[in-house]
A and B are shown apart, each in its own frame.
Chain A
Amino acid sequence: MSMRNSLFALATVLVFGAGAAFAQSPGGQTPKLGKPISEADIKAWDISVLPDGTNLPPGNGTSAQGAKIYTEKCVACHAEGGKGGGAPGAGPLVGGAPLTNGIETVKTIANYYPYATTIFDYIRRAMPYNAPRTLADNEVYALTAYILALNKLIGENDVIDAKTLPQVKMPNRDNFILPYPDRI
């Protein structure tokens, strides 16, 4: 870590320094063939949402709004009420057996996911399976609300947005252990 600290400090200096100083970099001279790009120009690709809500977009949705979109765009694979099995690989979106049932218990949103932000992130990047990245952010919020309400993790009328989504407490969050903490 200290090596990277010093590299970072050195690199920061070098932005304003002469090329000759680069030769003193501990890592030696590297090609530097990356083209500078602004975060604004990366925005269309920057779709990752973090558990604390970082990078959630503006907008919102409710379960009732989500139910309509679900009927139109999701039910073919995930089946009525999110029970799954409408298509191979489309697992259930609702319910889930206790994890004490065995090591092969089907992992679901309700019995497994530590953070609700993952639902928003995955719908936005990967769904619908035949047309990823076609849902508006409000639609993603609404579908997230619909799934959370199906699982009774939020109320029927709760509004899901950048502020409320990270506050949803997922049942399995505190059940995780790290097998290799020193590798992080």
Chain B
Amino acid sequence: MLDNTGAKAQHMTCMDGTRIWRLSVREEIMSTTHRRGRAPSPDLVAGNGLINRRALLGKGIAVAGAMGTAGTITGAAAEPLKDEQWSLEFGSIMPPVQTASKYEKDVARTLSNPQGEFRNSHARTPHQMLSGTITPSSLHFSINHAGVPDIDPAKHKLVIHGMVRQPLEFTLESLSRYPLVTRMAFVECAGNSAPMFSNQPLQVTAGAIHGLVSNSEWAGVKLSTLLDEAGIDPHAKWLIAEGTDAHFLARSIPVKKAYDDAMVAIYQNGERLMPGNGYPMRLLVPGYQGNMNVKFLRRLKAIEQPAYTFFESKTYSQILPGGKTWRFHFLMEVKSFITHPSFGHSLKEPGYYTISGVAYSGTGRIAKVLVSADGGKSWGEAALQEPVLDKAFTRFQMPWRWDGQPAILQSRAWDEAGNVQPLRVEFVAARGETKQPLATPLAFPNQHYNSITSWAIDSKGEIKHVYA
């Protein structure tokens, strides 16, 4: 069992698969050594039924002891089998573009503006219904301040100009001929998780709270290649990135980031970008505010000083407790949240469950995720699904045996730079909270929220969002 002190001591231990394996072996040795002295199960790693993640890694854990007996808890026998109707008739015709099964129709984004009123609109990813690390393109979050433009890819142009030797114009066709960089990257709105600024927890799903982050495989042209071809002036420190939507959304991007890992993305999960995600091309600045990943990209202008556009002057700048204000807070900091189980799910019976969620950091790779089932009194280390990638979702899992008693599930992530996701009490002390409870999860009282999320499970298996 790891308490908070123990957790810190091990915090740099599992940065990649090899290290996880080594840690597992060491734990197994410790576990074997102390097995006789422990009760009730030697394979519990933290309070309230958290099981050592070796159960998932197949390292020879005594599965029956920790994970439950072989049969179901209720002991109900299975029914005799028979063929179903779908096996007895010819199936349907395949469509050229397939969509999800009709039985999955509830797996949909939550919309802030479902009637299409003349204002901005948000579509949030339903994380509580998804797993793995890739967000399906059809469910990737999207925010549009002036609707989704109808762009003819044959007419779309991207110009690079300003402090360059030779201004250049690119098309989708010409960019598609370049060598493409392919990488996984999350994109997160700076306002994601903002409902947790509320001084009372809102009873809404993980998707409603955290649905303004999604993770895709992006392919595109390295921005540094295009800037080098235009011959950027070494005195240029910023780029104005501008979209061709109906208010020409513009942000100032440091040239430093452009030469680090930025790209002009033209594919998303293997296909062209979704219209709501920037078709036909967008800027990708991995780990930085979603708004900086300018969609429908039409112009990059190299300049010496930042432009102080509307979005960097107002919306994506933060008020701190006491009244000081942050500018150019680009980085999306380390975060994790449990997707399964979470609000909207219920546990049908006591027994074995797998706690699962996502972790990510704008700084780099995820190093470690700890999970608690007793509201943070004790923590066990979750298994991280490989590959653990830079500035991308990492799926974590934690085996758990629920004894039917109240429990509070939490996850807490560390990144490879040593940044740790704050407890809510720590976060609020530094960044504040609202004076009144938020009336709606669609509100944005502030930005850049990244504390842990807590799901409380009562003895009936119902789940609530709590601050613990």
A residues lining the B interface (CB < 8 Å): 1, 4-5, 7-8, 11-12, 15, 27, 30-39, 42, 45-52, 54, 87-89, 98-105, 107, 112-115, 117-118, 121-122, 125-127, 129-130, 132-133, 172, 175-180, 183-184
B307 close to chain A: CB less than 8 A: yes
CA distance A154 to B42 in the complex (A): 74
Q: Are B234 and A8 in contact (CB under 8 A)?
A: yes
CB distance from A159 to the nearest CB of B (A): 23
Interface 0/1 of B224-239, CB less than 8 Å to A: 1110111111100100
Which residues of B are found within 8 Å of A118, using beta-carbon distances? 308-310, 313-314
Are B328's CB and A180's CB within 8 A? yes
Q: Which of B119, B146, B445 contacts A104 (CB 8 A)?
A: B445
Which of A39, A88, A114, A176 touches B167 (beta carbons < 8 Å)?
A39
Q: Is there a chain A Cβ closer than 8 Å to B246's Cβ?
A: yes
Rounded to whole angstroms, the CA-CA distance of A100 and B320 in the bound complex is 9
Q: Mark B243-281, 1 if CB is under 8 A from A, else 0.
A: 000111010001111010000000000000000000000
Binds A, one of B86-94, B394-402, B432-440: B432-440
Known contacts A8-B233, A45-B159, A99-B319: A129-B328 contact under CB 8 Å: no
Asked if A184 and B324 make an inter-chain contact with CB atoms under 8 angstroms apart, the answer reads no
In the bound complex, residues from chain A placing their C-beta under 8 Å from that of B232 are 4, 8
Any A CB within 8 A of the CB of B169: yes
**A129-B231 contact given A34-B226, A87-B118, A99-B323, CB 8 Å threshold:** no
Q: Using Cβ atoms and an 8 Å threshold, which residues of chain A touch B445?
A: 103-104
Could you tell me the distance between the alpha carbons of A24 and B179 in the complex, rounded to whole angstroms? 19
Q: Say whether B233 contacts A42, CB under 8 Å.
A: no
Q: Residue B254 contacts which of A99, A101, A117, A183 (CB distance < 8 angstroms)?
A: A183
B178-A31 in contact (CB<8A): yes
Name 25 interchain pairs, CB-CB below 8 A, sorted by A: A1-B234, A8-B234, A12-B165, A27-B228, A34-B168, A34-B230, A38-B167, A39-B167, A42-B161, A45-B298, A45-B299, A87-B118, A88-B119, A89-B119, A99-B323, A102-B432, A103-B433, A104-B434, A113-B313, A117-B308, A118-B308, A176-B317, A179-B329, A180-B328, A183-B330
Most chain B CB within 10 A, of A1, A117, A125, is at A125
Are A107 and B314 closer than 8 Å at their CB atoms?
Answer: yes
B106 on the A face (CB < 8 A):
no
- Please report the C-alpha to C-alpha distance between residue A39 and residue B162 in the assembled complex, in whole angstroms: 8
| Cβ contact within 8 Å between B328 and A184 | yes
A112 touches B228 (CB 8 A): no
Complex-state Cα separation, A74 to B246, whole angstroms: 17
- Contact A8 B328, beta carbon cutoff 8 Å: no
- What are the residues of chain B within 8 A of A45 when measuring CB–CB? 159, 242, 298-299
Bound CA span A39–B117, Å:
38
- Asked if residues B167 and A4 are in contact (CB atoms below 8 Å), the reply is no
- Please indicate the chain B residues that have their CB under 8 angstroms from the CB of A39 in the complex: 161, 167
Q: How far is the CA of A100 from the CA of B446 in the complex (A)?
A: 14
Q: Are B248 and A184 in contact (CB under 8 A)?
A: no
CA distance A46 to B298 in the complex (A): 11
Judge if B156 is at the interface, Cβ distance under 8 Å.
Answer: no
A35 adjacent to B168 (CB under 8 Å)? yes
A30 nearest CB across to chain B (Å): 5
A177 near B324: Cβ-Cβ < 8 Å: yes
Given contacts A45-B299, A130-B118, A175-B324, 18 further A-B contacts (CB under 8 A): A11-B231, A37-B168, A39-B161, A42-B159, A46-B299, A49-B307, A88-B118, A115-B313, A121-B250, A121-B309, A121-B310, A125-B248, A132-B146, A176-B327, A179-B328, A179-B331, A183-B254, A183-B331
Establish whether residues A36 and B166, one from each chain, have CB atoms under 8 Å apart when the complex forms: yes
Question: Within the assembled complex, what's the spacing in Å between the Cα atoms of A126 and B246?
Answer: 7
A1-B234, A87-B118, A113-B313 as given contacts; A132 in contact with B248, CB under 8 Å: yes
Q: Which residue of A lies closest to B301 (CB)?
A: A48
Query: A37 contacts B169, CB within 8 Å?
Result: yes
- 0 or 1 for each of B285-329: is its CB under 8 Å from A? (1 = yes): 000000000000011010101111110011101111111111111
> Cβ of B310 and Cβ of A122 under 8 Å apart?
yes
Tell me the minimal C-beta distance from B121 to chain A in angstroms. 10
Does B323 lie within 8 Å of A100, measured CB to CB? Answer: yes
* Chain A residues in 8 Å Cβ range of B435: 102, 104
Assess whether B85 is interfacial by the CB under 8 Å rule.
no
Smallest Cβ distance from A137 to chain B, in angstroms? Answer: 15
- Closest CB in chain A relative to B247 CB, distance in Å: 3
- B203 interface residue, CB < 8 Å from A? no
Cα separation A121 to B228 with both chains bound (whole Å): 28
Which of chain A's residues have a CB closer than 8 A to the CB of B226? 34
Separation in Å of the A108 CB from the closest CB of chain B? 9
Smallest CB-CB A-B distances: 10 pairs: A34-B168, A126-B247, A104-B445, A100-B323, A99-B323, A103-B432, A89-B119, A33-B174, A122-B310, A125-B248
Most buried by B among A101, A105, A180: A180
* B348 CB-CB contact with A under 8 Å: no
CB <8 Å contact, B229 and A34: yes
Question: Which residues on B sit within 8 Å (CB–CB) of A52?
Answer: 305
User: Is B467 positioned at the interface, with any CB of A under 8 Å from its CB?
Assistant: no
Q: Is A48 a contact partner of B242 (Cβ separation < 8 A)? A: yes
